[in-house]
Amino acid sequence: MAGRKYFGTDGIRGRVGEHPITPEFMLHLGWAAGQAFKKAGQRNSVLIGKDTRLSGYMFESALEAGLSAAGVDVKLLGPMPTPAIAYLTRTFRASAGIVISASHNPHHDNGIKFFSAEGTKLDDALEADIESWLERPIEVCGSADLGKASRVEDAPGRYVEFCKSTVPNELTLDHLKIVLDCAHGATYHVAPQVFRELGAQVSVIGAEPDGLNINLDVGSTYLGALKQAVVDTGADLGIAFDGDGDRVLMVDRDGSEVDGDELLYVIASQRFSEERLKGGVVGTLMTNLGVELALTEMGISFERAKVGDRYVMERLVANNWVLGGEGSGHMVIRDCTSTGDGIVSALQVLLSLGKSGKTLAELRRGMRKLPQKMINVRVAKRFDPLSRDDVALAVQRAETELGDSGRVLLRASGTEPLIRVMVEGKNADDICRIAEELAGVVENSTP
């Protein structure tokens, strides 16, 4: 994302009230996006959805005004999961979709994500085009050409039906007792409906948003409440979404966490056993080595992308594969949807359970996660740690010691002045020692 002034790896994000997350900027962004997306000779429309943050109302109005000034119609979806906007953008044949959300962050943050007309994240060229329009002053089109705004009243129902359509009609969940944690976020009104209509006995936590409690002690970034609820209710499993619904993590019946790496393995291994995997699997640089070893042993190709779902998607498209994901629970299942979707991913896991006749705890046992140690080394400024001879030599020694049963990763954070040192292998004591030694070398090598 070199050269971007506003766009990061997943849109534009920051603290509410601090540039660029201000009403003035959002007005300008709406106009700039309208100019970039609209095509001559046709009526153009853009969908806007949001999560449950209080600030979403303010930014929704500002974006609407900017798009209208550019001569683009606006369809307002209200609080909806991020992947729902991707889906509805396609079905409405809209020019683009906009999501107002800061995902798993607290309420005091917010941001903007864009989807193309195909329901995919924007490519670099289109983001650059939007930024170029941001450098120009707003020019309001003629009053007869202003964009119109309308609200899509049936958006939740449309998305619920879409989610159910991603699994076979014969799938029923009437044998399952499930706890859903909606993170007081965008899935609060649609996820319970999806799983109940498929027959599950559903209990719900984190489904009372007040504009300020999104992701607060609930959701995929805080599984404590879900673990307790699963154990207390005797549920078969628990499902946790993040604030905007594009991630999912699970809890098995004894309250043990099942992360995105394990869920990716569960889906991949079951699909492979049925000869419907369609190629290999894409993880990221942070995917646990246990996933790679388990899939490779089965004969499934595995490839690592840079951290971020857009990079996972890039590799899937390049390879013509369908399945990839991250340990955070952000999974891409291309034969079901065009972007990461927490509800759809959860349904694919439950489909695997149904087809195998096994529990979540049983299916996850096919992969052994290797111990992993992460140390963040704070530096004065970001740099490539492997460009330093002493660091490169230390990494080489560590990799020799670990052999084929371990892995070392050093990378600069994309958002903070940190060098992330990650080591994984079979012996927890060894990897902790190696990680601390490497962190010390990096710290002493800081420019």
CATH 3.30.310.50 assigned to 372-444: yes
HSE of 223 in the Cβ direction (CA atoms, 13 Å)? 21
Q: Which is the catalytic residue, given 55, 68, 103, 220?
A: 103
**β-pair partners for 112:** 12, 100
Which part of the chain is CATH 3.40.120.10? 12-154, 176-258, 259-369
Say which range, 22-36, 103-117, 433-447, has the weakest mean pLDDT.
433-447
On whether the CB atoms of residues 417 and 382 are closer than 8 A, the answer is yes
- Tell which residue, 140, 25, 27, 33, has the closest CA to residue 95: 33
Secondary structure string (H, E, C) spanning 151-210: ECCCHHHHHHHHHHHCCCCCCCCCCCEEEEECCCCCCCCCHHHHHHHCCCEEEEECCCCC
> With 90 as the cut, is the pLDDT of residue 446 above it?
no
Question: Binning pLDDT at 50, 70 and 90, where does residue 186 land?
Answer: very high
Could you tell me whether strands 96-100 and 45-50 are parallel, antiparallel, or unpaired per DSSP bridges?
parallel
Q: What is the CATH number of domain 259-369?
A: 3.40.120.10
CATH 3.30.310.50 in the chain, residue ranges: 372-444
pLDDT for 1 beyond 70:
no
Structure token digits, residue 7: 């766009």
Q: Which of the residue ranges 13-17, 164-168, 191-195, 402-406 would you say has the lowest mean pLDDT? A: 402-406
pLDDT of 12 over the 60 cut:
yes
Summarised one tens digit per residue, pLDDT across range 285-325 is 999 999 999 999 999 999 999 988 889 999 999 999 999 99
Examine the pLDDT at 272 and tell me if it is beyond 60: yes
The reported pLDDT for the residue numbered 161 is: 98
- The chain-wide mean pLDDT, for the chain, equals 95
Q: Which of 277, 262, 376 is nearest to 327 (CA)?
A: 262
- Which pLDDT does position 414 carry in this prediction? 66
Q: Is the pLDDT of residue 2 over 60?
A: no
pLDDT at 415: 63
Q: Where are the beta strands (DSSP E) in 195-256?
A: 201-205, 237-241, 248-252
Q: How far, in whole angstroms, is CA 424 from its chain's centroid?
A: 24
DSSP state letter for 387: G
Please give the CATH topology (third level) of the domain spanning 12-154: Alpha-D-Glucose-1,6-Bisphosphate; Chain A, domain 3 (3.40.120)
Whole-angstrom Cα distance, residue 229 to residue 223? 10
Is the confidence at residue 368, as pLDDT, over 50? yes
pLDDT in tens, 216-270: 999 999 999 999 999 999 999 999 999 999 999 999 999 999 999 999 999 999 9
Write the pLDDT tens digit of every residue in 50-83: 999 999 999 999 999 999 999 999 999 999 999 9
Share of the chain above pLDDT 70, in %: 99
103 in active site: yes
Q: Which CATH class is domain 176-258?
A: alpha beta
At 105, is the pLDDT very low, low, confident or very high (cuts 50, 70, 90)? very high
Other beta carbons less than 10 A from residue 403's beta carbon: 9
Neighbour count for residue 420 (Cβ, 10 Å): 20
Q: CA gyration radius for the chain?
A: 22
pLDDT exceeds cutoff 60 at 362: yes
Distance CA 256, CA 359 (A): 13
